[in-house]
Amino acid sequence: MRDILEEAAAHPIKSQNSSLMKAQIQIERVDERFHLHSLESLINGNDTDSFVRLSTAREEGALIHNPDGGVRAGTLSSLIETLTSYGHVDPIFSRTFLMTYKSFASPDEVLNLLFERYRMEPPAGLTKAEQEEWSKLKQHVIRSRVLNTLKSMVMVDDVLEDDRHVMDRVSSFLHEPDVAMSPGAKNLLATVERKRNGGWFSHIPPPIFPAGITNDESKDKLNLLKIDPLELARQLTLKESGCYRGIRPTDCLRHFGGRKSGKTDDCLTFILQLNKKVMNWVNASILAEVDVERRAAMLSHFISIGDCCRLLQNYSTMAAIVMALLSSPINRLKKTWNEIDGQTMSQLILCESVLDAPRNYATCRNTLASINPPCVPFLGVYLTSLSFIHNGIEDKLPGDLVNFGKQQRIADVIREILYWQTKDYDLGLLPPVMIFLEDTLASFDGDVVSEDQFHSLSLDREPSCGDYM
């Protein structure tokens, strides 16, 4: 699995994460109002903001821009200043920063700079009228953006349990007299308190555990070959999509060396483990059959399950099944494969072509770009992109500058991952089948069976030509 995931390269991503976009609406509205005011000043020939710019001079080299004006790199303080600028703020920059900052800074570091930014003082030597103008054109806008940034940090369901103190710090800050009187502070405080009093952020558990099961006995009578492939695909899709919806940006950052919380039970890790279990399940089920005809029937059954997953746009489980069928222990079973009819083989060929592993998942990427949710994508497409970015691009540029261009590329990939969480599957839970799957896959927890063991069993089922000598 790891070898396959490491084959893909990074690709530009176009989708946006809806929760982060909503959290930035207020910031963008402030941007629009301020931009109109600046245009009016230019039209009227007023240069009232000349003194406003006095305190915005950054240390030379603290911020580097791309030719198109976007931020390429900068110190943490300069990135915070850009995030809360009194001028126009790029909404893509804002969303990228909020999605990725934990990979290069701690929440406390960001909070310290935001609080400091809010408390900034006017430049020395201003007249009373100039101070009022400075407060109107700069301080008010910056403070609004600081509060909106804090709101975004609070509202996005991506604050780890280790960061609970962030809520406490934000609450204490909002209770300060000069902050409490600010427009928006009261509503933000109410939001913080709801989060604190209502329990921690909802986290969809990795598996789906149906409640109130009363027919446990029926699952003991289930035979894999007797379960309709479409129903198996539906239940596998429910299981995996439920976990996929729980993936958070920090799961992706942590997976590739971001700030760690010590947790290993996040949804992204669970999906990778689930895919490995499915692969082992496919291998074990096929190789368990001594009779070649029953072995072929089991092989055909899994091909049909994989194809049904494809039709449901569950490319994750489809990929796990295809990779298991193409693995050496199964692929070498010539007698078994000779029993598979042409229609079933065409299903497998179609699934293989969608995955398109030999061509760097080109067809899989094109397919994802052409469909709408619901979908459980093959995470290998995205994780290899993140791996390419993480290992191929430096975190810092000369001068100890955060390489924000790298963070933007990471955020692009994460936004694509989160895009597929926007719509749930309209499928019903069938408890006996789901319990059967849960129990079966649970038997493959950990490294219960190695590929060498599968290969040895494969040789027992169909010895190679040399073994007959």
The burial of 447, by beta-carbon neighbours within 10 Å (0-12 exposed, 13-18 middle, 19 or more buried), is given as exposed
For residue 203, the model assigns a pLDDT of 41
Long-range contacts of 219-225 (CB under 8 A, 24+ apart): 219/431, 219/432, 219/433, 219/435, 219/436, 219/439, 222/432, 222/433, 222/436, 224/285, 224/298, 224/301, 224/440, 225/297, 225/298, 225/301
- Amino acid 208: pLDDT: 32
- Tokens for 222, please give them: 């289930």
Where helices occur in 176-266 by DSSP H, the ranges are 177-180, 185-197, 216-220, 229-244, 249-255
Fold of 205-377+420-468: Son of Sevenless (SoS) protein; Chain S, domain 2 (1.10.840)
Residue 265, CA distances (Å) to 174, 272, 439 in order: 33, 11, 19
- Residue corresponding to tokens 């701690």: 106
Residues 72, 393: contact at Cβ < 8 Å?
A: no
Q: Where in the chain is the domain with CATH 1.20.870.10?
A: 18-197
Of the listed ranges 23-37, 86-100, 397-411, 425-439, the least confidently predicted one is 23-37
What pLDDT score was predicted for residue 161?
54
More reliable by pLDDT, 24 or 469: 24
pTM exceeds 0.85, yes or no: no
CA 81 to chain centre: 27
Residue 22: pLDDT over 50: no
What is the pLDDT, as a whole number, of residue 68? Answer: 85
Amino acid sitting at position 284: A
Residue 71 belongs to what H/E stretch?
strand 71-74
- Phi, psi torsion values for 402, nearest 5 degrees: -65, 125
| Sheet of strand 71-74: strand arrangement | 63-65, 71-74, 401-402, 396-397
How far is it, in rounded angstroms, from Cα 343 to Cα 192? 58
| Residue length of the chain | 469
Higher pLDDT, 330 or 154: 330
How many CB atoms sit inside 10 A of residue 150's CB? 25
Distance CA 295, CA 279 (A): 16
The answer, yes or no, to whether the previous bond of 122 is cis (omega within 30 of 0) is no
Greatest Cα-to-Cα distance within the chain, rounded to the nearest angstrom? 101
b/e map of 276-285 (b: 16 or more CB within 10 Å)? Answer: bbbbbbbbbb
Separation of alpha carbons 56 and 74, rounded Å? 15
Q: What is the pLDDT of residue 246?
A: 92
Of 56-70, 217-231, 399-413, highest mean pLDDT: 399-413
pLDDT score, position 61: 67
The whole-angstrom separation of Cα 466 and Cα 469 is: 6
| Nearest one of 144, 141, 147 to 37, comparing CA atoms | 141
Give the mean model confidence (pLDDT) for residues 157-163. Answer: 58
Query: Do residues 261 and 305 touch, judged by C-beta distance below 8 A?
Result: no
C-alpha span between 97 and 62 (Å, rounded): 16
Per-residue tokens: 28? 């963008």
pLDDT on residue 144: 86
| CATH class of segment(s) 18-197 | mainly alpha
> Which of the residue ranges 148-157, 238-247, 283-292, 316-325 would you say has the lowest mean pLDDT?
148-157
Whole-number Å distance between alpha carbons of 289 and 298: 8
Find the angle CA(80)-CA(82)-CA(87) to the nearest 5 degrees: 140
CA distance 352 to 355: 5
Q: What is the pLDDT of residue 216?
A: 46
Coil, strand, or helix at residue 376? Answer: strand
pLDDT tens-digit profile of 339-368?
A: 999 999 999 999 999 988 888 788 898 889
Strand, coil or helix: 402: strand
Strand partners, 63: 74
Q: Within the chain, which residue ranges are assigned CATH 1.10.840.10?
A: 205-377+420-468
Report whether pLDDT(313) > 80: yes
Q: How confident is the model at residue 221 (pLDDT cuts 50, 70, 90)?
A: low
